[in-house]
Amino acid sequence: MSLWTAAELAAATGGVTSADFTAGGVAFDSREVGPGDLFVALAGEATDGHRFLPQAFAQGAAGAIVSTACDGPHVRVADSFAALEDIARAARARTSARVIGVTGSVGKTSAKEALFACLDRIWPGQAHRSVKSYNNHTGVPLSLARMPAATRAAVLEMGMNHPGELAHLTTLVRPHVAVVTAIAPAHTEFFADEAAIADAKGEIFRGLEPGGTAIVPFDSPHRDRLIVAARPHAGRIVTFGSGTGADVRAIEAVRIGAGTFMTVRTGERELSFTLSQPGAHWVSNALAVLAAVEAVGGDLGLAGLALADLGGLAGRGARFHMAVADGEALVIDESYNANPASMRATLAVLATEPGRHVAVLGEMRELGDASADYHAGLAGPVEDARVETAVLVGEAMRPLAETLEGRMNIVHVPDASAALDRLRALLAPGDAVLVKGSNGVGLARVIAALKGG
């Protein structure tokens, strides 16, 4: 399928083509280049993508965006990063898709994936989304550049760790619907307080298309702050939550097996379905998703079916059983990332599982001067989850290890490899194991090893 021609790329970027070519995909990581793709050679702080042009062409790249001389088919530009943003703008300008932008301190990737599942169920083969967690200054334009012109609905994730970042990204995405999933302590190293985080997340509303919809968490203490941020830019503001007064409200949420039976009221309508995920955080995600689906004119019934079929997401709640001695242990994979709010939410899910509870918790990063307090503050949720053994990973976990000493079995290790060794030695049939930590801790390697036996 043709995504871009050399002529279209030159028109979008103001570049000069060396030859005609047609690209069916876009990548800026040479390891991800496939046959027929466009390779955008970005010059970064650590390395320069131009060094990998031979590898990209060897893997089948149809052409490249470059800012230096190149032997293969290419469009030469003054600045390849600026060109990537230009391609993103051109992709956004040429589509009539209904576009949803998603941000939040927690839940944004999960909500994005759930939203895509709903949109793809409603408009099969005509929905588009950000891949992985490509939500930063390079990931967002890449996700837009990959969007086919004929897309019917798109959901783009936007992240930030400094003020002003979302203000720029939202001008590229230009959402018809802008969702804030939740406000919580995350990247606090770069913000004065949680209110400042809310202000930075509220920047997403600045890019709303005229008459667009802002979707805000009703139960958040920062709800009114977000509403104030949205009001100058939104034609409509919709709240979601469990509290009385929320526009999209959960009037029932009951744990059933590994999922949740929900009844949701939106306006005068009620929708009942079984959400494939457990936990209050997933109930909140589902409400935000349904609010966004309704805002783009999607079928809520089909959305409910998609949420029932969603299943666990790798690194964000996926579950599997691993062989242990003469039986099996349940592993809950929350290894992708962590902050104080998401730690508490997933520990609450662990609390509902049968069997002996084991928690492998990696340190939470980018918490600034309050890091020790945030880590020690997990002691209550860990105890409430009836954890018998806590494997704590990383130096930043020391305050929690010291707080919990004497209350349960504590194993404090320096890295993921040591955590895996200790975990394998202590697991028994019937155990329920939660694995969660900041991505940089590397607990995904623990999950991969447990899956491999």
pLDDT for the residue numbered 453: 63
Q: Is 5 annotated as a binding residue?
A: no
Q: Is 105 annotated as a binding residue?
A: yes
- Measured from the Cβ of residue 261, the count of other Cβ atoms closer than 10 Å reads 15
pLDDT for the residue numbered 358: 98
User: What tokens were used for 237?
Assistant: 């503001």
Q: Is 109 annotated as a binding residue?
A: yes
Q: Is 107 annotated as a binding residue?
A: yes
Show the domains of the chain with their CATH numbers: 4-79 (3.40.1390.10), 95-309 (3.40.1190.10), 318-451 (3.90.190.20)
pLDDT for the residue numbered 375: 97
pLDDT for the residue numbered 366: 87
Q: Is 96 annotated as a binding residue?
A: no
CA distances to 16, 38, 169, 424 from 173, in Å: 26, 21, 6, 45
Q: Is 19 exposed, middle or buried (0-12, 13-18, 19+ CB in 10 A)?
A: exposed
pLDDT for the residue numbered 188: 67
| pLDDT tens digits for range 362-396 | 999 989 889 999 999 999 999 999 999 999 999 99
Q: Which residues of the chain have pLDDT under 70?
A: 1, 187-188, 453
Q: What is the pTM of this model?
A: 0.90
| pLDDT tens digits for range 299-324 | 999 999 999 999 888 888 899 999 99
Give per-residue burial for 130-140: e unless 16+ CB within 10 Å, then b.
beebbbbebbb
Q: Is 110 annotated as a binding residue?
A: yes
Q: Is 40 annotated as a binding residue?
A: no
Spatial neighbors of 101 by CB under 8 A, at least 6 apart, are 155, 156, 158, 170, 173, 175, 177, 178, 179, 204, 207
Please name the helix (run of DSSP H) or strand (run of DSSP E) that holds residue 444, with its range, or none.
Answer: helix 443-451
